[in-house]
Amino acid sequence: MQILIAFIVGAVIGLGIHFQLHQRLTRGVVLAPMIGAVSAGAAWSILTWLGVGIDTPWPWLASLIVPVVVTYPAIIALSRARVAHDRREKARLGIG
């Protein structure tokens, strides 16, 4: 049941990253929270499957650190790809 806390923490971290980074209009508002939630839940699951108990700090730290490490570069890369794609598409259509 504590994995829900990891999902929520990951989503909140992803939401913070969404509003912190530039080019917000190039991606949906749900993308970063979803990446954060999935990465936090995956980290929590992997650690519990490996036998790390919830009475240790490792799953809790992983649910805080992994979403930042995964979401930040993923959102930067996706935003850059979208801007580059939009630029190429505008040039192809001759609108900008």
Q: Summarize the confidence of residues 45-52 as an average pLDDT.
A: 97
- Is the separation of the CB atoms in 23 and 81 below 8 Å? no
Work out the burial of residue 29: count CB atoms within 10 Å of its CB; fewer than 13 is exposed, 13-18 middle, 19 or more buried: exposed
Residue 21 has what pLDDT?
95
pTM: 0.92
CA distance 7 to 96: 41
- Is the separation of the CB atoms in 35 and 13 below 8 Å? no
Range 69-91 burial, b when 16+ CB lie within 10 A, else e: ebbbebbeebbeeeeeeeeeeee
Given a cut of 80, whether residue 67 has pLDDT beyond it is yes
